[in-house]
Amino acid sequence: MEISHEDDAMIRAIVLLIAFAVTTGTAGAEEASINLAGIGSRKCSYWLSGPDHRLEGTVWIYGFWSGLNYVAASSQQDQPKTNGTAMITAVEVACKGNPSQILASAAWAAYIDSNQK
């Protein structure tokens, strides 16, 4: 797939906007009205509250992480070298550290942390 200079600039802008919005914390993400689909907009405590929520969140995390990898690859940025188990464990650690944050914030933090290793 060929990425034009304009597409590359757009992708980078989107990544920066997502990074800013998600890393501003739970209140910032909710106030910014990020249009998150599914359980990603729910608090970590909800995700961790039971097996059904856990499964729904895990599927959401896989999709979110894959989307971040897609954007990173298409804009020639580094991607974390991790497997599904390590990915979910990293998000779980982030969630347990701050159960009141939204799942998207925890997944983003885990993605960034995994990418720095």
Q: pLDDT of 15-64, one tens digit each?
A: 555 554 444 444 444 445 778 889 999 999 999 999 999 999 999 999 99
Nearest to 102 by CA among 34, 50, 51, 52: 34
What average pLDDT score do residues 78-91 get? 90
H/E element, 95:
helix 84-97
